[in-house]
Amino acid sequence: MATALLFPGQGSQTPEMRELVARVRPDLLNLAIEVVGEDPFLRVDDGTAYAQPAIFCASIAGWCQLGRPLHEFMAGHSLGELGALVAAGVLSERAGLELVALRGRLMQEAGETAGDGGMIAVGGPDAAERAEEVATPHGLSIANDNSPQQVVLSGPRAVLPAAEQTARELGLRAKILPVTGAFHSPMMASALPAFERALAEAELGPAETTVISAVTAEPFDDVRARLAQALTSPVRWREVLLGLHERGVTTFVEVGPGKVLTGLAKRTLKDVELVSA
């Protein structure tokens, strides 16, 4: 029996997370203010440029509050991959935070530059199996394969109302999300060059435990390539969870903030222990 630590992505923010960081890792809060140029927690709702570094810091603080455990496996949902890599010793906290802050800013700028991207969440008992029936007719792509009951699609904002109608005609739930871009899709391509340059300069260390990539649902091989690929590729979270379970993981610990990943694991796996920090 093995344990996996899970690091959440955007959408997991909570009102309490700044207090957690200030209490557990005040030095990390100060570093975030330095790297971002202002307190990202005060502007979490202003876009991914602030939400990503704030959630990253809260995740690291949550991990520290647990005693900095390693366990046998780690995985992160989208930006959570960077938190997992920091916890595993591949990136320093400063390097991880600098990459997260740059990633958030580039993704926000890519969305604003394109100006016409959006996302829609599709839910239902067989959402994962039927997501393509919603995506394909409208030129959308799968952005987040979160659980058997939830998939998020990305693409041109103009087609989202029609996709929402298609989903409902198929008996699925659908909700257009209040985001500034078509994240995890080819519409994020303009963010790649600058992020790839930063990744090329980042110093990487050996992993102290196995970290699973949400791009491949396999252990990280080329860290730089996979982190860059994650900007335009889907988050294969359902496959990550299933793969970890197949590797013998029976306990999943979400470091926080929030309990989003715990909920997705509950909908995806049976007979496992779920812990939220």
Interval 99-118: pLDDT, tens: 999 999 999 999 988 779 99
Q: What is the CATH number of domain 116-176?
A: 3.30.70.250
Residue 277 has pLDDT above 90, yes or no: no
The CATH class of 2-113+185-276 is alpha beta
Q: Where are the domains of the chain?
A: 2-113+185-276, 116-176
Let me know if 77 is a catalytic residue.
no
**Average pLDDT, stretch 21-47?**
97
pLDDT over 90 percentage in the chain: 95
Let me know if 245 is a catalytic residue.
no
Cα 65 from Cα 21, distance rounded (Å) = 10
Residue at 93: amino acid letter: E
Select which of 78, 154, 185, 233 is catalytic.
78
**Residue-wise pLDDT tens digits, 148-169:** 999 999 999 999 999 999 999 9
Cα 167 from Cα 161, distance rounded (Å) = 10
Instruction: Report the relative pairing of strands 173-176 and 273-276 from DSSP bridges.
Output: unpaired
Helices 93-114/192-201 angle, 10° precision: 170
Select which of 184, 213, 233, 245 is catalytic.
184
Pick from 29-38, 95-104, 155-164, 179-188: least confident = 179-188
| pTM exceeds cut of 0.85 | yes
Pick from 48-52, 170-174, 177-181, 236-240: least confident = 177-181
In this structure, how many other beta carbons lie within 10 angstroms of the beta carbon of residue 102?
Answer: 20
Instruction: Give residue 179's pLDDT.
Output: 87
Token output for 218: 């396999």
